Amino acid sequence: MAYEGSRRGRRGTFSVEAAIILIAFVVIASALAFAVMNMGYYAAQKTKETMEKGVQEVSSALELDGSITAYVNNTDGEPRVQYLIIPVKTCVARSPVDLSSDSFIVTVTLSELTLPNIYNGTKNEANGETIAKLDNQTLAEVFSDQSNSTALAFILTGDGDDVLELNEKAFILIRLAESDSNNKLEIIGPASYETVKIELRSGEGATLSLSRQIPPGLPDQGFVDLG
């Protein structure tokens, strides 16, 4: 009988030890499950951020806001594009675009020439005045202090800074002409049937690439809608 009592006591001890071990396993499993779930949430959040960043990088922060207009001039017997006027705005749900000369790049590619970076910043002091009426005289005044091919930006309805924000519109003005030491103007812009490619690169997002073929029958002096 004493043997049976001792045996029953050991059975109770084994049951308590088994319960403690089981509880320890449950606690450890719960901690591991929490860690796994936390890592899963973290990975999902990082994946979402990476996808959003990828979408922003493959889409341009700028979009065309109207038609590209060209001004044609004739200085060497053949009408050529001297000025390009490109209206742009920020894309929907995108952050403002910095148009300062340190953060924005304008590249123009012609049939026999590439101008890798001709952007020279904004001209906020003339907002709403200079581009209220664009003609040959106004365009010449805008680029009066430039001797080589240059691009400038004018921001409409802005607050005086170099940042293009929501509900603001900007005009990128490009001059495709160069002056020599005798101030003789040489137009290097495209003629009829030639193609001009413009790339607008901001600090964020993909490059906005615009390509236009110059139509035939260009006037000696005047504006042409390139679409």
> What is the per-residue pLDDT for 30?
75
> What is the per-residue pLDDT for 127?
43
Whether the full predicted model's pTM is greater than 0.75, yes or no, is: no
Spatial contact of 61 and 90, defined as CB atoms under 8 Å apart: yes
> What is the per-residue pLDDT for 181?
64
Return the amino acid letter for 117.
N
C-alpha to C-alpha distance for 226 and 224, rounded to whole angstroms = 6
Spatial contact of 154 and 126, defined as CB atoms under 8 Å apart: yes
> What is the per-residue pLDDT for 126?
45
108-138 pLDDT, tens digit each: 999 888 998 899 988 765 444 556 667 777 7
Which residues have C-beta within 8 Å of that of residue 88, sequence separation ≥ 6?
62, 63, 64, 65, 164, 169, 170, 171, 172, 200, 208
Domain ranges of the chain: 1-58, 62-225
> What is the per-residue pLDDT for 118?
93
pLDDT beneath 50, residues of the chain:
1-2, 57-58, 126-128
